[in-house]
Amino acid sequence: MQKRVLLGLAFALVAAVVVAYLPTLRAGFIWNDDTYLTDNPTLDGAQGLRLIWTDPRANEQYYPMVFTTFWVEKRLWGLHPFGYHLVNVLLHAVSALLLWWLLRRLGLPGAWLAAAAFALHPVCVESVAWVTERKNTLSLFLSLLAAHGYLASSDARAAAGERHKRKARPEQLWYRRPGLLYAAALASFTLALFAKTTASLLAPVLLVIAWWRKGRLRWADVRPLVPFFLVGAALAWHTAWLEKTMVQASGVEWSLSFPARVVLAGRVLAFYVAKLAWPVDLAFIYQRWVIDPRALWQWLPALAVLAALAAAWALRRPLGRGPLTGVLLFGGVVFPAMGFFNVYAMRYSYVADHFAYQAVAVSAAAVVCGIAALLEGQGTPVRRAAGGLGIAVLAALAVLTFRQARVYRNEDTLWRDTLAKNPVCFMCHTNYGHSLYARGRVAEAIEHFEASLRIKPDNVPSLLNLARVEEERGRYDEAIARLRAALDIDPTDTTVLVNLGAVYTKAGRYEDAIAQYEEALRNPSPDDYLAHNGLGVALIRTGHTAEAVEHFREAVRLNPRFWKGRANLERALAMLNKPR
What is the average pLDDT value for the chain, to the nearest integer? Answer: 91
Cβ partners under 8 Å of residue 5, min gap 6? none
Q: Give the long-range contacts of residues 454-462, CB within 8 A, separation 24 or more.
A: 455/424, 455/425, 455/426, 455/429, 456/426, 458/489, 459/426, 459/427, 459/430, 460/486, 460/489, 460/490, 460/493, 460/496, 461/430, 462/426, 462/429, 462/430, 462/433
Distance CA 295, CA 276 (A): 26
Q: Is position 199 within any domain?
A: yes
The answer to the question of residue 206 being in a domain is yes
CA distance 250 to 346: 10
Owning domain of residue 544: 492-580
- Please state the rounded mean pLDDT for residues 180-186: 94
Q: Is the pLDDT of residue 486 over 90?
A: yes
Give pLDDT, residue 394: 97
CA distance 332 to 373: 23
Residue 117 near residue 397 (C-beta atoms within 8 A) = yes
| Cut 0.85: pTM above it | yes
What percent of the residues of the chain are helix, what percent strand, and what percent coil, each to the nearest 5? 75, 0, 25
pLDDT exceeding 90 applies to what percent of the chain? Answer: 76
366: left (phi over 0), alpha (psi -120 to 50) or beta: alpha
Among 191, 178, 190, CA closest to 224: 178
In a domain, 552, yes or no: yes
Please say whether the beta carbons of 531 and 501 come within 8 A: yes
End-to-end Cα, the chain, rounded Å: 91
348, 284 contact by CB (below 8 A):
no
Residue 59: C-alpha distances to residues 65, 135, 196, 519 (Å):
12, 13, 14, 25
> Does the pLDDT of residue 171 top 60, yes or no?
no
The band of 422, judged by pLDDT with boundaries at 50, 70 and 90, is very high
pLDDT exceeds cutoff 70 at 12: yes
Question: Predicted confidence band at 238 (pLDDT cuts at 50, 70, 90)?
Answer: confident
Give the confidence band of 172 by pLDDT, cuts at 50, 70, 90: low
The residue among 184, 221, 182, 232 whose CA lies nearest residue 332 is 232
Residue 154: inside a domain, yes or no? yes
CB 283, CB 351: distance < 8 Å: no
User: CA-to-CA distance for 433 and 251, rounded, in angstroms?
Assistant: 25
Q: How far is CA 94 from CA 14, 18, 116, in A?
A: 8, 11, 11
Among 240, 256, 271, give the residue marking a domain's end.
240
- Rounded CA-CA distance 200/356 in Å is 15
Q: Domain count of the chain? A: 2
Predicted confidence (pLDDT) at residue 572 exceeds the cutoff of 80: yes
Whether 79 maps to a domain, the answer reads no
Neighbouring C-alpha atoms within 13 Å toward the C-beta of 526:
9
- The CA distance from 533 to 528, in Å, is 9
Q: How far is CA 111 from CA 239, 333, 483, in A?
A: 34, 20, 57
Q: Which of 225, 240, 255 is the last residue of a domain?
A: 240
What is the 3-state secondary structure of 100-133? HHHHHHCCCCCHHHHHHHHHHCHHHHHHHHCHHH
Return the pLDDT at 318. Answer: 87
pLDDT grade, residue 336 (50/70/90)?
Answer: very high
pLDDT of residue 579: 54
CA distance 81 to 66: 16
Q: Is residue 327 part of a domain?
A: no
- Quote the pLDDT of residue 164: 54
Q: Which CATH number characterizes residue 552's domain?
A: 1.25.40.10
Classify residue 504: in a domain, yes or no: yes
Q: What is the pLDDT of residue 57?
A: 83
| Gap between the Cα atoms of 552 and 566, Å rounded | 7
Confidence of residue 179 (pLDDT cuts 50, 70, 90): confident
Does residue 469 belong to any structural domain of this protein? no
Radius of gyration of the chain measured on its C-alpha atoms: 27
Q: What percent of the chain has pLDDT over 70?
A: 95
- Range of lowest pLDDT (64-73, 90-99, 162-171): 162-171
Confidence band for 580, pLDDT divided at 50, 70 and 90: very low
Which of 179, 208, 240 is the endpoint of a domain? 240
Nearest-angstrom CA–CA distance, 196 and 150: 19
Listed as own residue / partner, the contacts of 236-241 with beta carbons closer than 8 Å and 24 or more positions apart are: 236/193, 236/197, 236/200, 238/56, 238/62, 238/197, 239/61, 239/62, 239/197, 240/341, 240/342
Residue 566 CB burial class (10 angstroms; 0-12, 13-18, ≥19): middle
Mean pLDDT computed over 389-403: 96
Helix, strand, or coil (residue 439): coil
Express each pLDDT in 269-328 by its tens digit: 999 999 999 999 999 999 999 999 999 999 999 999 999 999 999 988 888 899 999 999
